[in-house]
A and B are shown apart, each in its own frame.
Chain A
């Protein structure tokens, strides 16, 4: 049975997994939804109470019943490269592709419904609290008065985007940034604003979860680091990522998080404070892992390949691919 990888051609991080799948003899078909109606095609029929579906990409043809797993890695916008792209064609293509795949019974990394919910940072914060993870005091608001009151309670704050999306035209990035004392919060009224107590961190931690496996890496904050450099993605890179053990109680909370979120994969970001506490910042359900593996040598891509390559499921009992649990 085949592993379907939804991603773009340029995704060299996905290549790291494909290499392992090839080595273990697991068939792979790689498809970018952006290529639908151009170099990718789909078909599904519902006849006499049965379903049969097929996908083709790059000259390969695969039956949907022959899929063991689907990895939603970095899929392009469906039909974006069609000869005559349109918002209508994108919606038609998205519903066709993902709708057909939902009925095929393959295991997902990650299930689209779970992934959609898990992208919401406010949901992440609440779910992390429920899971027993330490969450820094956070406020999301459009009330300037609420922001001012929060700043009085927690004078050392950072601001970050709620969605993780970035403004375009012109393209800009919005890093997590420290809010200076005395800042005017009037502009909070013009957009939901996420304010969070700054953790005086001694390290950043990236914890990658693949199924039941937890792989954590730690990047120490230099003693002379500028406290205004909050966002590790934008800070000068002075120290390496190194493998680190996950504290047992935190591991238990992380497993509770991914189980409750119904995620097969998640990339957690924590800030480690002076007491060694790992404060939950976010869990990106499709977070990058290549840079961690390259620096630490941790077998993340191998673990993903092993998860994807496990034997396929049987015929689903439900239209959405769920199976009736065996008592």
Chain B
């Protein structure tokens, strides 16, 4: 009784990694431990994949 498309489902990959930045409500930006703005560190963003098109989101559609 499973819909056809679910025959192709796979477990969602849950990222258990922690991000090395925290949100600063004053700046309205995420900042690194050394105070730098996380979004300005493109190498870090590439490494973390936090800006990547993902699948398996609980809260949002595919992007």
Contacts and interface: CB of A to CB of B under 8 A. Distances in A.
Interface of A: 9-10, 12-13, 15-16, 18-19, 28-30, 58-59, 74, 76-77, 119, 147, 159-161, 163-168, 170-175, 177, 185, 187-188, 190-194, 206, 231, 233-234, 267, 284, 286-291, 293-295
Interface of B: 1-14, 19, 21, 23, 25-26, 28-30, 37-40, 42, 45-46, 49-63
Contact of B10 (A59, A173, A286): A173
Contacts, number: 147
12 contacts: A16-B51, A19-B39, A29-B28, A159-B8, A167-B6, A172-B12, A173-B9, A173-B55, A193-B4, A286-B61, A288-B52, A293-B51
Nearest to A193: B4
A193 B5 CA distance: 6
Contacts of B49: 291
Given A164-B61, A172-B10, A294-B45, A12 B55 contact: no
Contact of A15 (B2, B3, B25, B29): B29
A193 B8 CA distance: 12
Given A284-B61, A284-B62, A190 B51 contact: no
B23 A295 contact: no
Contact of A187 (B4, B23, B62): B4
A190 B54 CA distance: 26
Contacts of B23: 9-10
A46 to B, nearest CB: 30
Contacts of B37: 15, 19
Contacts of A119: 61
A191 B4 contact: yes
A171 B12 contact: yes
A174 B1 CA distance: 17
A193 B61 CA distance: 17
Nearest to A286: B63
Contacts of A174: 5-6, 8-10, 55
Contact of A288 (B3, B10, B13, B63): B63
Secondary structure call for the B interface: loop
A187 B50 contact: no
Contacts of B11: 170-173
B2 A190 contact: yes
Contacts of B42: 294
Shortest 5 CB-CB distances between A and B: which pairs?
A290-B51, A191-B3, A15-B39, A9-B23, A164-B62
Contacts of A159: 4-5, 8
Contacts of A77: 59
B36 to A, nearest CB: 11
A13 B56 contact: no
Contacts of B46: 291, 294-295
Contacts of B59: 76-77
A259 B1 CA distance: 41
A61 to B, nearest CB: 14
B33 to A, nearest CB: 15
Contacts of B45: 12, 290, 294
A167 B9 contact: yes
Contacts of B63: 267, 284, 286-288
A16 B54 contact: no
B52 to A, nearest CB: 4
B50 to A, nearest CB: 5
Given A15-B29, A187-B2, A233 B12 contact: no
A169 to B, nearest CB: 10
Contacts of A289: 51
